[in-house]
A = this chain, B = another copy of it.
Amino acid sequence: MKDLKSILTQVGDIFATEPFLGQPEGLYQPIAYTMGLGGKRLRPTLLLAASHLFGGDMSRLRNAAIAIELFHNFTLLHDDLMDQSPLRRGQPTVYRKWNPNVAILSGDAMCALAWRYMLRYDQNRKDQALECFNETTIGVYEGQQLDMEFEQRNDVIIAEYMTMIRQKTAVLLAGALKIGALSTTAADEEIARLYDFGIHLGLAFQLQDDLLDTYGDTAVLGKQTAQDIADNKKNYLYLRALSEADAAQRDQLLALFATKPQGSEAAEKIERVLAIYNTLGLSAKTNEAIAAEFDEAARCLDAIGVPQPAKLPLMQLTEALFGRKK
């Protein structure tokens, strides 16, 4: 039986040996650049761990692992253009390093490249795996659309936010797990449990992102904290604050999130928002919501009927994510 570390090593090896280059160079360089920026490789790790969970042969899932990571990075590439984000993992985003048209077209090609790897999935239940992959991509787009629509709305409630992050973040984690599991002999009900594990893990992961953005350590994160407040991004903390604020706090929050000051005034805005968040005890409350999702995820994993040692990598991963600082 393997542990998380050995799976991470395997994932690292996969991406260390794939150049993602081709002709014309202008199309593939931004793809290789994006893949070279690194990242946690969380989705391929989940995919391999899911195969391991049900006794599958991880080495045969190399292509699917690459496919899911290519797709994920493609969505970041297009998202960065749509959000006009200048940096990704501390480096210039593709639309800034090249230009918006390069970002659009290389992104499209990157998605097709993901499909090229995915079509090489030569395991059990290939049809189901391909369908899962495609429906996952559609889920992500629907989530991104909701995210963009929420930016224009002032009446988003927490339930809607949870639906949005489920689509935008959680279905891809759950989909990676399912694609890994479909290559094994696991029963459909067991795969469904693993999928739910992925959904709750994904929700926890995104809520944690929101929390770290507001209360994380700048030095550890490698980026400015409270960027969501500066950008008027309605994350979990903001929506939770609105739902628990009194009339005066609510008016203040709405007014602060209607402005986008620069320089020292930006810092002042962040301070004023944080003061309200602190009064409402949002750090603790968000941590509770995160813990609830992690608990739910653990329960799903618990219910899967395989020997305990096979669960070790996913349990270690859950623990590592629960304690993450960036």
Q: Which residues of A contact B (CB under 8 A)?
A: 23-24, 26-27, 78, 81-82, 100-101, 104-105, 107-109, 111-113, 115-116, 119, 127, 130-131, 134-135, 137-138, 141-142, 144-146, 148-149
Contact = CB atoms under 8 A, between A and B. Distances in A.
A141 B22 CA distance: 12
Given A78-B105, A82-B101, A82-B104, A24 B146 contact: yes
A233 to B, nearest CB: 15
Contacts of A81: 104
A105 B82 contact: yes
Chain B CB count within 10 A is highest, among A105, A109, A119, for A105
Given A116-B134, A131-B119, A148-B105, A24 B142 contact: yes
B105 A26 contact: no
Given A109-B141, A109-B145, 16 more contacts: A23-B142, A24-B149, A26-B145, A27-B145, A78-B105, A81-B104, A82-B105, A100-B100, A104-B104, A107-B108, A109-B138, A115-B115, A115-B134, A116-B134, A119-B130, A119-B134
12 contacts: A27-B145, A78-B104, A81-B104, A104-B104, A105-B144, A105-B145, A112-B137, A112-B138, A113-B138, A116-B134, A119-B127, A119-B134
Copies of the protein in its oligomer:
2
Contact of A26 (B82, B113, B127, B149): B149
**Nearest 7 CB-CB pairings of A with B:** A27-B145, A109-B141, A82-B101, A115-B134, A112-B137, A112-B138, A24-B145
A141 B149 CA distance: 29
A131 B135 CA distance: 18
A115 to B, nearest CB: 5
A10 B26 CA distance: 41
Contacts of A116: 134-135, 138
Contacts of A113: 138
A78 B102 CA distance: 11
B82 A141 contact: no
Contacts of A115: 115, 134, 137
Nearest to A133: B115
Contact of A78 (B27, B108, B119): B108
